[in-house]
Amino acid sequence: MHYIALATICLLASGINAAPAETKYLRTDDLPKCPKDADQAGDCIKLIMNELIPRLRLGDPELGIEPYDPFVIDRLSFQYSSGAVNGKISVRNVKLYGFAEHTIEKVNVKVNGDKVKLRTVSHIPKMNIFGDYKAELQVNSLQLKPKGTFNVTLFDVENRVVMDGEFFSKDGLRFLRLKDIEANPTVRDMVIKANGIFPDPELDELAVSVANSYWRDIYGIILPETRQSWAPVMLRLINAALQHVPIDQFIQPSE
Ligand SMILES: *[C@@H]1O[C@H](CO)[C@@H](O)[C@H](O)[C@H]1NC(C)=O
């Protein structure tokens, strides 16, 4: 039962550079070894994740792990098209603060042959996301080209993640690769600050105040709509990190 590499999924926020010519592997002799039986390993994996998340916050260049608190996004854009609203939104120079305060509350693992299913429930008390944005929107017959800065604070982000993966071998060691990831973050409260929505400052203020009143609706639309933008990026980052993490070191040896 070789499911423990999942422990390192907490690296999911790490940006990864091209791997160095000779791959260095994550070695963590000071961490616990988990039971072989996946059904009994949840709490142990949770412990390892909660140990590694704050430890790796500054990244590890030799493992190709970039710092993830703040997590920096140079550029990301997505197309939006639904009902009365169509357009394109791009963000630049985005910084996300809060990932190192991520606490894993629950871990559930199922292993079936080489296939793995991992479910986690986690909590981030506060996240701050800011950067520059630019959009071209068509709202009914209205053309908008807002451009400015934004600063969004999220409180009590509760995240339920389901990951599907499989084991594979390389250099005589075993690793895990993810095939799919599904995340359902809910947020208790959100404060949105932005400028540049309208050229007129009073209208601008009004728009931000409306956004703050309706953030639940906005969030409910944006999250699923942007999934096809962020899900492949997450998968790529996690899988790049997992290539540096041989999993057997986390599992109790056979009697
Ligand atoms: C964003 O807003 C938060 C909370 O209001 C504030 O603490 C932080 O300094 C702001 N950051 C920037 C870059 O404006």
Tens digits of per-residue pLDDT, 190-227? 999 999 988 899 999 999 999 999 999 888 877 777 77
CATH number given to 4-250: 3.15.10.30
Q: Pocket of ligand 1, candidates 127, 153, 189, 195: which has the most ligand atoms within 8 Å of its Cβ, to mutate?
A: 153
Answer with the residue of higher pLDDT: 35 or 13. Answer: 35
| Contact 86 CB / ligand 1 (< 6 Å) | no
Looking at residue 78, its pLDDT comes to 83
Asked whether the beta carbons of 163 and 228 are under 8 A apart, the reply is no
- Please report which confidence band the pLDDT of residue 255 belongs to, taking 50, 70 and 90 as the band edges: low
Q: Parallel, antiparallel, or unpaired: how do β-strands 103-112 and 71-82 relate?
A: unpaired
Nearest-5° Cα angle at 93, 143 to 197: 25
| Contact 150 CB / ligand 1 (< 6 Å) | no
Dihedral sign of CA atoms 35, 52, 100, 19 in order: negative
Looking at residue 92, its pLDDT comes to 97
Indicate which residue's Cα is closest to atom 7 of ligand 1: 128
Asked whether the beta carbons of 25 and 244 are under 8 A apart, the reply is yes
- Please report which confidence band the pLDDT of residue 22 belongs to, taking 50, 70 and 90 as the band edges: low
Q: What is the pTM of this model?
A: 0.80
Rounded Cα–Cα distance for residues 157 and 187 (Å): 5
Q: How far is the CA of 151 from the centre of ligand 1 (A)?
A: 6
Q: What atom of ligand 1 comes closest to residue 151's alpha carbon? A: 1
List, in sequence order, every residue forming a beta bridge with 185; answer none if it has no partner.
159
pLDDT in tens, 177-190: 999 999 989 999 99
Rounded Cα–Cα distance for residues 44 and 250 (Å): 10
CB under 8 Å to 222, separation ≥6 — which residues? none
Looking at residue 134, its pLDDT comes to 96
Indicate which residue's Cα is closest to atom 4 of ligand 1: 153
- Please report which confidence band the pLDDT of residue 151 belongs to, taking 50, 70 and 90 as the band edges: very high
HEC assignment per residue over 7-47? HHHHHHHCCECCCCCCCCCCCCCCCCCECCCHHHCHHHHHH
Looking at residue 21, its pLDDT comes to 53
- Please report which confidence band the pLDDT of residue 5 belongs to, taking 50, 70 and 90 as the band edges: very low
Looking at residue 11, its pLDDT comes to 37
Q: How far is the CA of 155 from the centre of ligand 1 (A)?
A: 14
State what percent of residues in the chain have pLDDT above 70: 91
In the DSSP assignment, the letter for residue 220 is: H
